[in-house]
Amino acid sequence: MAASSMRVLYLGPRNNIAHSAASTEQQSRAVRALGGEFVVYDGDSDGELIEALKSADVAINQGHGFKPEFFEQMGNNSRCKGLVSFGHGYDRMDLQSAVDNGVILANTASFGTEEVSNHTIMLLLASSRKLIKHDKLVKSGTWTREHLPPMGHIADQTLGIIGMGNIGRAVARKAQAFRLNVIAYDPFVSSWDAKEYGVEMVDDPLELARRSDYVSPHTYLTPSTHHMVGKEFIAAMKPTAIIINCSRGPVVDEEEMIKALQEGRLAGAGLDVFEQEPVDPDNPLLKMDNVAVTNHYASYSEVAWERGNTQLGEEAVRIALGQWPMSLINPDVRSTVPAREWPKEWKVIVAEAGKA
């Protein structure tokens, strides 16, 4: 396909203030750079969306919502071959339906790697050094050392990471600057690859739970990772240990974590995500001085957000031009669609388009 003939359909936010629909300059940047057509969807019914998909080569979804049955109108059944979604997670996508219909799914993984890993380290330090409690004490006029112990030493302690993807590796790299020993559990990463990052791999999550002073999951939310940090895992942890979660709320069994914190079987937690979002104002975690919380913004910075928005368009272009996306989230689709080219770095695509 000639780049100038590609048509990209943009599905903007629906009642979602996390993404501004005021401008699509960043999202459309890649498409416009190659002379393609970027169409902003303005319909409000399923029928209108299905018709819009029929005339596009690929769609971008940014907070709009997307029903599994729409995949039946895409992929091998239509001109529209793929869907690119904003963010890291894909737990709201029906991957099997997409595979069955030959729909290529991509996201913008890696756009917020630095931000999420920084946020993880921030929450680790805040929790370990009891920042929340002592911040409240000082601001209330109380100057005391009564509540110092137990206090995390950090250096030579052990951080256990679940998931050694982009973010997990970045957290490991930054944690080592604080002289933390890093161990990790990820059944899809070899021990010799992890060795390059100075990380010891363990083959049992419970071993990681028993050995770690800090536990930080960095995994997608799937049926197998739901409540991965659950009752048995938490029971195996040290009473002086701390849970940090900047992945997805349901990866941690919140009810079991609350019980452990209340009973003194955990020392603290640092949380950017919750099982219910927005978090219930009556959630006990919000009333605990040994729990640091933020409102699911770990991936945000202006730089990261621009990168994520721009990446949406770049991945859409790859799919429209017959390449695989850089961040393919349903790799099984390779068995249900015709062969494609491997993805190319964006600057190479632009250079080749200029020579065509």
Q: Would you state the pLDDT for residue 354? A: 80
Q: Is the peptide bond prior to 13 cis by the omega test (within 30 degrees of 0)?
A: no
Q: How far apart, in whole angstroms, are the C-alpha atoms of residue 116 and residue 34?
A: 32
Q: Which of 271, 293, 315 is the last residue of a domain?
A: 293
Q: Are residues 211 and 269 in the same domain?
A: yes
Confidence of residue 18 (pLDDT cuts 50, 70, 90): very low
Q: Is the model's pLDDT at 17 over the cut of 50?
A: no
**Of 252, 268, 293, which residue sits at a domain end?**
293
Residue 64 has pLDDT above 90, yes or no: no
Whether residue 152 is found in the same domain as residue 268: yes
Domain endpoint, select from 273, 293, 313: 293
Q: Please give the share of the chain, as a percent, with pLDDT higher than 90.
A: 86
What pTM, to 2 d.p., does this model score?
A: 0.91
Q: What is the mean pLDDT of residues 47-73?
A: 93
The number of distinct structural domains making up the chain is 2
Cα atoms in the 13 Å half-sphere on the side-chain side of 20:
8
The pLDDT score that the predictor gives to residue 15 is 59
Residue 19, pLDDT above cutoff 90: no
Find the domain containing 288 and state its range.
113-293
Q: Can you give the pLDDT at residue 23?
A: 83
Claim to verify: residue 107 and residue 118 sit in the same structural domain? no
Residue 191: band (very low, low, confident or very high) from pLDDT cuts 50, 70, 90: confident
**Do residues 171 and 130 both lie within one domain?**
yes
Give the mean model confidence (pLDDT) for residues 303-317: 96
Per-residue pLDDT for 342 more than 90? yes
Say if residue 343 is in the same domain as residue 236: no
139 and 279 co-located in one domain: yes
CATH classification at residue 198? 3.40.50.720
How does pLDDT run across 90-109, given as a tens digit for each residue? Answer: 767 788 999 999 999 999 98
Spatial separation of the C-alpha atoms in residues 56 and 80, rounded to whole Å: 5
Active-site residue set: 248, 277, 296
Residue 222 or 22, more confident: 222
96 and 240 part of one domain? no
Residues 137 and 272 grouped into a single domain: yes
Query: Are residue 38 and residue 161 in the same domain, yes or no?
Result: no
For 149-189, how does the pLDDT look when each residue is reduced to its tens digit (9 = 90+)? 889 999 999 999 999 999 999 999 999 999 999 999 999 99
**Does 154 share its domain with 72?**
no
147 and 206 part of one domain: yes
Whether residue 107 is found in the same domain as residue 117: no
Share of the chain above pLDDT 70, in %: 97
